[in-house]
């Protein structure tokens, strides 16, 4: 008698699926490809999708299955299954459930992150109209869905043909984001600005496509529209993020954004928070050398005048705005072009920095000014670009000597010492400042004239943190190097200082233990 063919196993019950999915999703950390393969063999993806599509609502089912699928798709093996289920991604992006839409957005990212063949993945994105659906999720989804959509679109822009998906060369597709923003709520517009900022960070070619699509005009419109302060502030925060992208500066400088920021800073009726962010963004925008080749001196002068005007009006109650203005000036002064302009311009911005650097009335203001002055002095510039033009150098020297003469300390060395005698954070800023200034002969002479300054920078015990030890040692090395290259070594006192500095440099930045000779230990014998 012939054996009957074995019948296929019955499909798992809903209870079995939920129990297994819950256990799988709650596994701490990431699942391995082998564990995913074993799970999917027992509970195929169509079974899990079927549970999500079930018409009967059972509390907790959707969250359990979504969490389980997310764990599956995060793995290399799980992502490799996605091309076979492209209709699920398309349907998921249009689901009423935010959890399912968020999962579908993540699935697009997983698909691209693990693709061995970008061409096949790109065909799915084009063939199933994925990009427009992601845009809908971006502007209509909840916070989690919108964030997942943003990541997925950025990931599309990063693949070889992704730029042509987001910025097609023909038709109205290239203007899709701009047209979408024109008919969106304020929240949706801010989300579109967030996407634009992400796109500018992808690559130079994607940034070019974004600029050619006139997307930066959306930032201009949002910042110029000051009816909603929170929306304007959100736009400024995203502009700050955009300015930090290495691909954005040359495009931003072609717009009216710098003029808009200058107007914001100088407008006393604007909230101080907006003025503070505008100042920082302006400083960041002018912190690269290429900015000075793209912007007219009159535009930069107008900005410096606006920031200087705010510093002149601010009192001790406006510490946050004052600190932001000083930080912005420090960013501008970090480049040799910016430092020269700051020092020789008709504004009093440089004077405000120097005076604030040694004014102990406000700790935050003092710190911001010390760091700004350190940047202007060239501490972060290459060695061949530390020194400024003759006129700017003379102005820097005059400002510091004048500030000292008008203070109880009388000399720059007295000012430097007073900074180094303060709390650790202020001391760190002082080390940084001296490191930048000491390449100048007049500053080197001032530093060497105070034995207490040398004692502090050579003392390995004065700092207790790694950052403090390294900052002190860097300052010590800078003084030692400047002194070794100067003509002061002919003086006996300076020669002794040089030896002390060299010994401190050799010890390194950390507390080095001196060699201790073994000592005999004499103890009485133990008696029982």
pLDDT at residue 193, rounded to an integer: 95
> With 70 as the cut, is the pLDDT of residue 174 above it?
no
Assigned domain for 124 exists: no
My answer on whether 285 and 394 are in the same domain is yes
| Section 9-32 average pLDDT | 79
Q: Please say if the pLDDT value at position 316 is more than 80.
A: no
- pLDDT of 462 reads 87
Task: Indicate if the pLDDT at residue 318 is higher than 80.
Answer: no
Model confidence at 492: pLDDT above 70 = no
Tell me: do 319 and 442 sit in the same domain. Answer: no
* Continuous segment of H or E residues that includes residue 276: helix 272-285
In this prediction the pTM is 0.83
| 312 Cβ contact list (under 8 Å, min separation 6) | 348, 352
| Residue 238: predicted pLDDT | 94
Residue 49 domain flag: no
In a shared domain, residues 276 and 366: yes
Flag the least confident range among 12-16, 421-425, 439-443: 12-16
319-333 vs 349-357: helix crossing angle, rounded to 10: 110
Quickly state the pLDDT bin for 409 (edges 50, 70, 90).
confident
- Structure confidence at residue 219 as a pLDDT band (50, 70, 90): very high
Lowest mean pLDDT among 386-395, 461-470, 493-502: 493-502
pLDDT at 378 over 80: yes
Q: Report the pLDDT value the prediction gives residue 432, as an integer from 0 to 100.
A: 94
Boundary-marking domain end, from 255, 285, 316? 255
* 393 shares a domain with 286: yes
pLDDT at 133 over 90: yes
pLDDT, mean of residues 116-124:
82
Segment 503-523 shows an average pLDDT of: 65
Question: How far apart are the C-alpha atoms of 199 and 174, rounded to whole Å?
Answer: 14
Question: In which band, very low, low, confident or very high, does the pLDDT at 528 lie, cut at 50, 70 and 90?
Answer: very low
Residue 91 lies in a domain: no
Asked if the structure places residue 35 within a domain, the reply is: no
Q: What is the pLDDT of residues 301-313, one digit of tens each?
A: 888 888 888 887 7
235 shares a domain with 279: no
Whether residue 168 is predicted with pLDDT greater than 90 in this model: the reply is no
What value does the mean pLDDT take over residues 433-447? 92
Q: What is the mean pLDDT of residues 362-388?
A: 90
**Rounded CA gap, 202 and 155, in Å?**
9
Residues 455 and 505 in one domain: yes
Domains contained in the chain, number: 3
Same domain, residue pair 275 and 394: yes
Please say which residue of 230, 255, 280 terminates a domain: 255
Whether 176 is in a domain gets the answer no
On whether residue 75 sits in a domain, the answer given is: no
Total Cβ atoms within 10 A of residue 270: 16
Higher pLDDT pick, 53 / 466: 466
Cα separation, 263 vs 306, whole angstroms: 8
Greater model confidence, 53 or 54: 53
Is residue 234 situated within a structural domain?
Answer: yes
Residue where one domain finishes, among candidates 402, 417, 434:
402
Mean pLDDT for the stretch of residues 176-194: 89
pLDDT of residue 520: 56
Tell me: pLDDT of 172 over 80.
no
Cα distances (Å, whole numbers) of residue 164 to 55, 113, 136, 157, 158? 39, 19, 19, 8, 11
Rg (CA), the chain: 32
Q: Does residue 21 register a pLDDT over 50? A: yes
- Structural domain that includes position 449: 408-509
Q: What is the pLDDT of residue 7?
A: 60
| CATH of residue 326 | 1.25.10
Clarify whether residues 338 and 218 are in a common domain. Answer: no
Segment 416-427 mean pLDDT: 91
pLDDT of 344 over the 50 cut: yes
How many helical (H) and strand (E) elements, i.e. helices and strands, does the chain have? Answer: 32, 0
48 close to 69: Cβ distance less than 8 angstroms: yes
Average pLDDT over residues 365-381: 92
Winning range, highest mean pLDDT, from 42-46, 148-152, 183-187, 361-365: 148-152
> What is the model's pLDDT at position 527?
46
Query: Can you tell me the distance from the alpha carbon of 64 to that of 473, in angstroms, rounded to the nearest whole number?
Result: 56
Q: Where are the alpha helices (DSSP H) in 94-185?
A: 98-113, 118-127, 130-140, 143-158, 162-166, 176-182
- Same domain (yes/no): 218, 284: no
306 and 203 within one domain: no
Q: What is the pLDDT of residue 55?
A: 57
516 confidence band (pLDDT: 50, 70, 90)? very low
- pLDDT band at residue 247 under the 50/70/90 scheme: confident
At 463 the pLDDT is: 86
- What's the confidence (pLDDT) of residue 511? 67
- Averaged pLDDT of the chain: 86
| Contact (Cβ atoms closer than 8 angstroms) between residue 313 and residue 267 | no
Q: Are residues 325 and 398 in the same domain?
A: yes
pLDDT at 4 over 70: no
For 23, 36, 67, 102, 124, the CA distances from 27, given in Å and listed in that order, are 6, 12, 11, 21, 31
Considering the domain architecture, whether residues 321 and 394 belong to the same structural domain is answered as yes
Which pLDDT score, from 0 to 100, does residue 459 have?
87
What's the whole-number mean pLDDT along residues 474-497?
A: 81
Kindly state whether residue 466 falls inside one of the protein's structural domains: yes
Q: What is the per-residue pLDDT for 50?
A: 86
Q: Give percent of the chain with pLDDT exceeding 70.
A: 91
What is the per-residue DSSP string for 166-230?
HS-SSTTGGGHHHHHHHTS-HHHHHHHHHHHHHHHHH-HHHHHHHHHTTTHHHHHHHHH--S-HH
């Amino acid at each position: 008698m012939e054996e009957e063919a074995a019948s296929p196993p019955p499909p798992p019950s809903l209870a079995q699926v939920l129990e297994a999915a819950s256990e799988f999703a709650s596994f701490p950390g990431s699942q391995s490809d082998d564990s995913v393969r074993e799970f999917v063999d027992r509970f195929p993806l169509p079974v899990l999708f079927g549970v999500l599509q079930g018409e009967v609502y059972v509390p907790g089912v959707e969250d359990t299955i979504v969490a389980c699928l997310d764990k599956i798709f995060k793995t290399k093996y799980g992502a490799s299954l996605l091309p076979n289920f492209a209709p699920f991604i398309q349907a998921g992006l249009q689901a009423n459930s935010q959890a399912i839409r968020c999962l579908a957005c993540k699935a697009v990212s997983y698909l691209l992150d693990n693709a061995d063949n970008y061409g096949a993945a790109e065909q799915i994105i084009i063939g199933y109209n994925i990009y427009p659906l992601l845009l809908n999720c971006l502007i209509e989804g909840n916070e989690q869905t919108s964030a997942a959509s943003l990541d997925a679109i950025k990931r599309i822009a990063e693949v070889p043909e992704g730029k042509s998906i987001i910025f097609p060369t023909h038709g109205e597709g290239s203007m899709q984001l701009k047209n979408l923003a024109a008919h969106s709520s304020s929240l949706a517009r801010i989300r579109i600005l967030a996407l634009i900022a992400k796109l500018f960070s992808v690559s130079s070619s994607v940034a070019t496509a974004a600029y050619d699509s006139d997307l930066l005009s959306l930032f201009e419109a949002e910042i110029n529209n000051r009816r909603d302060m929170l929306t304007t502030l959100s736009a400024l925060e995203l502009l700050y993020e955009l300015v930090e992208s290495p691909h954005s500066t040359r495009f931003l400088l072609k717009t009216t954004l710098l003029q808009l920021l200058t107007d914001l800073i100088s407008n006393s009726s604007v909230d101080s928070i907006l003025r503070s962010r505008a100042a920082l963004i302006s400083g960041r925008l002018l912190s690269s050398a290429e900015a000075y080749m793209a912007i007219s001196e009159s535009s930069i002068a107008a900005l410096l005048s606006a920031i200087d005007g705010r510093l002149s009006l601010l009192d001790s109650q406006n510490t946050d705005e004052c600190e932001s203005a000083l930080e912005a000036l420090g960013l501008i002064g970090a480049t040799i072009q910016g430092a020269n302009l700051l020092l020789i311009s008709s504004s009093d911005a440089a004077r405000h920095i120097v005076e604030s650097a040694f004014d102990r009335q406000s700790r935050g203001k003092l710190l911001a000014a010390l760091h700004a002055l350190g940047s202007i002095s060239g501490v972060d510039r290459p060695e061949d670009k530390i020194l400024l033009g003759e006129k700017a150098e003379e102005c820097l020297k005059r400002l510091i000597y004048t500030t000292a003469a008008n203070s109880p300390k009388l000399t720059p060395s007295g000012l430097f010492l007073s900074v180094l005698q303060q709390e650790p954070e202020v001391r760190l800023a002082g080390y940084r400042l001296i490191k930048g200034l000491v390449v100048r002969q007049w500053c080197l002479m001032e530093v060497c004239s105070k034995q207490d300054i040398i004692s502090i920078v050579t003392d390995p015990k004065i700092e207790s943190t790694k950052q403090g030890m390294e900052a002190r040692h860097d300052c010590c090395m800078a003084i030692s190097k400047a002194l070794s290259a100067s003509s002061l070594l002919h003086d006996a006192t300076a020669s002794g200082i040089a030896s002390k500095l060299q010994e401190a440099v050799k010890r390194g930045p950390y507390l080095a233990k001196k060699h201790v000779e073994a000592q005999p230990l004499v103890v009485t014998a133990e008696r029982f």
